Structure 1
Amino acid sequence: MVTETNSRADAANPGRAMPLSEQPSAWRRMRLWGAAHAVDDLYQGLVPACVPYFVLERHYSYVAAGGLTLAATLGSSIPQPFIGVAVDRYRSDWLAGAGVTLAGIGLGLSGLMDSYVAVWLLLCASGLGVAMFHPAAGKSARVAAGESATAMSIFAAGGSVGFFLAPVLATPALIAMGVGATALFIPPAVLMGFLLHRNRLQRPATRGLSRSGRDQWAPFLLLTCIETVRSVAFFGAITFIELFWIRHLGAGKSLAGAALACFLVGGVVGTLLGGRIADRVGMVRTVQFGAIVAIPALVGLRLTPGEYPPLLFAVLAGIALNIPFAVLVKLGQDYLPTRPGTAAGVTLGLAVSIGGLLAPALGVAAEHWGPEGVFTIICLIPLVALVLGVFLNEPAK
C-alpha cells in the first residue's frame, strides 16, 4: 500500500526528490548522459586532433589552422545562450539527439572537402550541433544527478572522455588515410542520436522539473569568466600541444598524438576527481584549488626538456585544468536554479567555446614565437582564474 501511494505521488510530482536509500547509483543514473556527452565532445576533440594534419597535408598556415578551431567554436558559441533559454521555456529535449547527430556529420564530412571554405563551414555546422546538445543534455543530466557533484562529474567526465578518445582513435586513421579519415566518425553520432531519441520517448518530460529559488546573476557572471579563462588555457593546449611536440621537442607524429592523449586522459581524471573533492570541501574551494595546481603543472610542461619526460606534466596539466570543470557546471545551475538549461548552455557551451574563439590569437603568437611561445602564454592564464576565484561565493540555499 505504501509503495502504491509513493508511485502515485511520483506520477503526480515527477520532480519529487527520491530518498537516498531508493536512488540508483550515480553511475546508473548518469551512464546514458555520460556516454552521450562523450560522443558529442568526441567531435569537438577531433577538431584539434585533425588540425595538424590539415596543416601538414593541405599546407595551411598557423592562422588558418586556428581558424578551423574558430569555425567549430563559433558555431557552438553564438547560438548557445538562445538554445538554453528555449530549453528552459519549452520541451526541447529532442535537441540533444539532433545536436550530436549534426556534430558528427559536419565533422565527418569536413575531411572530404578540398576547399578551405567548405571545411570551415562544415566545422561550423558541427559546432552548431554541439550548441544544440549541451543545454538540453545539461538540464536532463542535472535532473538525473540531483545534488550530487560526483554524479554530475560523470556527465562532465563524459565530455573529457570524448576529447581523450579523439586523438586515440583519429591519429592512427589520419596517419594511414589522411584527413579523409574523418568520414569514419559519422556512424557513432547517428547511433547516439537514435538512442537519445528513444530515451526521450520513454521518459517523462523534464520541462516542469526546474527548481525554484532566486537566480544570482552577479556570481554566475563571475563564474562564467572563470570558465572562460579555463577554456582558453584548455583549448590553447589541445590545439598546439601536438605541434609543440613535433616542432619544438622534435618528436614524431605518433608521440605528438600520445602527448595530446596524455593531456586529455588527465582531463578525465581531473573531472571525476573534482566532483569528489567538491562533495567533501565545497564547490568554491575546488574551483580555487584547480587554479592553484594548474600553474606548476603547466610550467613543468613548458620547461621540461626531452621528448618523453614532459608527458608526465601533460597528464598533470590535464588533471589540474579539469578539476573545476564539473563543479563549474553544477555551480552555475545552483546560481540560476530556475534556468538550468541556460546555465548549462553558458558553462558547458558559451564559456567553453570562447576559448576556441581565441585560438586564432594564439595562432598569431605561434607564428611569431612558435608553439613554445603559446605554452608560455598558457602558463600565465590560471593566475587570472585564481584572482577571480577569490571573489566567488557559495550559492544561496
Structure 2
Amino acid sequence: MLAAGHAAVDLYQGAVPALVPFLVAERGYGYVAVSGVVLAATLLSSIVQPVFGVLTDRWRMPWLIPVSMVVAGTGVAVGGVTDSYALTWLAVALSGLGVAAYHPESARLARIASEGSHVRMSWFSLGGTLGFASAPVLVTPLLAAWGLGASPFLVVPAVLAALLTLPAIRATAGGGQATRTAAPVSGRDDWPSFARLTLVIVFRSVVYVGLSAFVALYMGGGTAGAVALFVLFAGGAAGTVLGGRLAARWGRVRTMRVAYALAVPAVAGVVLAPGPVAYAFIAASSIALYVPFSLHVTLGQDFLPSRVGTASGVTLGLAVSVGGLTSPLVGAMAEATTLQAALATLIAFPFLAYLLTHTLKEPAS
C-alpha cells in the first residue's frame, strides 16, 4: 500500500514533463518557458523537502502522507486550466510542494515496514518509478482527446491513493515508540560521506530531469514523444528492482559504480543514435540511472542513522529534484544552438557521478 501511494505521488512528477508538449502546442511556449514549468515542479520541492525531513525526525506526522498526495494532484490538475503562465507556474509549484511533503515521512514508514531490507526498499522505490511511468500513459491520451481543459480529472488518482494508503499508514505508524526505533542502524552520523552521496544524486538528477523534460520533444512530440517518456519512465521500474537485487549480491556502492559507468554510453546513445534506435538507448539510460535509486535512500539513511527523516528528505527530495534547477539552462542552450547539442551536455553528469562513487564506502554495520 505504501508503494501504491508512492506511485500516485510520483505520477504527478511524471505528469509535468507529459504536459510539456501540450503547453507548447496549445499555448505556444518555447523551450525556456516549458523548462521553467519543469523548474516550478522542482524548485519549491528542492527547498522545502529537507525541512520536512527535519520535522519528521522530531515528530511523527503520518497524516502528512494523504494530505500531500491530494496537494500534489491538485497542483497538476489546476496547472492545465489556468489562463496565465504565472498561475500555471504557481500551480505546478504547489504540486511540487505536495511531493516534497510526502517523501520524508513515507520513506521513514517504508523503512519500518521493510525492516531495513534493500530489496524491500527497492519495491517501495519501484512504486514511485511506476508512477512516473504511468504518467504519460494517463496524461497524454486524456489531453490529446480533450486538451489541457481536461487536466482537472488528473486529481482523481491522488484522492483514490490517499484513501487506499490510510490502512497501511495506521498499521505502520501506530506502534508507539517502538515503531520509531524499528530496524535501527548502529553507528554515528557520517556527514562527509552523506555529502558526497548527495552530490552523486545531484549529478544523476541533472541528467535524468534533463532527459525527462526534453526527450518527448527531441523524439518529435505527439505519440512518438509519449512513447519516449513511457520508455524512459518504465525502464526505471526494471532498474529499481534490479538495483535492490544486485545490491544484495554485490553491495550498494559497487552496484552504483557499475550502473553509472554504463549510464555514460547509454545517455550518449540517446543523443547520437538515429531514429527509432534511440528508444533502446532511452531504455538503457533509464535502467542504468534507476539501478542506484533505492540504494541512494538506504545508503543515506545508514550514513545518518540518527536522522532518517533528514536523510530521506535529501536523497528522495532535494538531491533528486535539484536537477530541475538546471533545466532552464538546458532549454536556453537548446534555443541558442540545437536541442541535440543541449542534450549532449548531459553525457558528462553520469561520468561525474561514477567518479565520485569511488570516494564512498559501505557504512559499517
CA distance in 1, matches of 2:278, 2:41: 29
Is residue 340 from structure 1 mapped to residue 308 from structure 2 by the alignment? yes
CA distance in 1, matches of 2:19, 2:150: 10
Q: Which residue of 2 aligns with 1:237?
A: 211
Is residue 120 from structure 1 mapped to residue 89 from structure 2 by the alignment? yes
Aligned-pair distance for 1:208?
4.2
Q: Which residue of 1 aligns with 2:348?
A: 380
CA distance in 2, matches of 1:364, 1:290: 29
- Give 4+ residue runs of structure 1 displaced > 6 Å after superposition: none
Query: How far does the alpha carbon of each residue in 1:214-234 deviate from its partner, in whole angstroms, 9 at most, with x for none?
Result: 111110010000011101100
1:185-334 to 2 correspondences below 5 Å: 185-202=154-171, 203-205=174-176, 206-209=179-182, 211=184, 212-246=186-220, 253-306=222-275, 308-334=276-302
CA distance in 1, matches of 2:17, 2:263: 21
Contact 1:45 1:162 in 2 (8 A): yes
CA distance in 2, matches of 1:349, 1:243: 26
Q: Which residue of 2 aligns with 1:9?
A: none
Contact 2:270 2:278 in 1 (8 A): yes
Contact 2:264 2:347 in 1 (8 A): yes
Contact 2:300 2:311 in 1 (8 A): yes
CA distance in 2, matches of 1:280, 1:374: 37
Aligned-pair distance for 1:148?
1.6
Query: How far does the alpha carbon of each residue in 1:128-185 deviate from its partner, in whole angstroms, 9 at most, with x for none?
Result: 1011100000000011112321111011111111110001111111211112222121
Q: Which residue of 2 aligns with 1:349?
A: 317
Contact 1:95 1:133 in 2 (8 A): yes
Amino acid at match of 2:333: A
CA distance in 1, matches of 2:137, 2:289: 20
Contact 1:271 1:326 in 2 (8 A): yes
Percent of pairs with identical residues: 45
CA distance in 2, matches of 1:264, 1:91: 31
Contact 2:31 2:335 in 1 (8 A): yes
What's the secondary structure of 2:60's corresponding residue? Answer: coil
Q: Which residue of 2 aligns with 1:137?
A: 106
RMSD: 1.3
Amino acid at match of 1:331: L
What's the secondary structure of 1:396's corresponding residue? Answer: coil
Q: Which residue of 1 aligns with 2:54?
A: 85
What's the secondary structure of 2:337's corresponding residue? Answer: helix
Aligned pair partner of 1:99 in 54, 68, 85: 68
What's the secondary structure of 1:358's corresponding residue? Answer: helix
Q: Which residue of 2 aligns with 1:47?
A: 16
Aligned pair partner of 2:132 in 160, 163, 175: 163
Q: Which residue of 2 aligns with 1:65?
A: 34
Contact 2:194 2:300 in 1 (8 A): yes
Contact 1:302 1:375 in 2 (8 A): yes
What's the secondary structure of 1:392's corresponding residue? Answer: coil
Is residue 35 from structure 1 mapped to residue 4 from structure 2 by the alignment? yes
Aligned-pair distance for 1:196?
3.0
Aligned-pair distance for 1:210?
7.0
Aligned pair partner of 1:172 in 141, 163, 166: 141
What's the secondary structure of 1:315's corresponding residue? Answer: helix
Q: Where does the alignment leave 5 or more consecutive residues of structure 2 unmatched?
A: none
Aligned-pair distance for 1:374?
2.4
Contact 2:2 2:168 in 1 (8 A): no
Contact 2:193 2:360 in 1 (8 A): yes
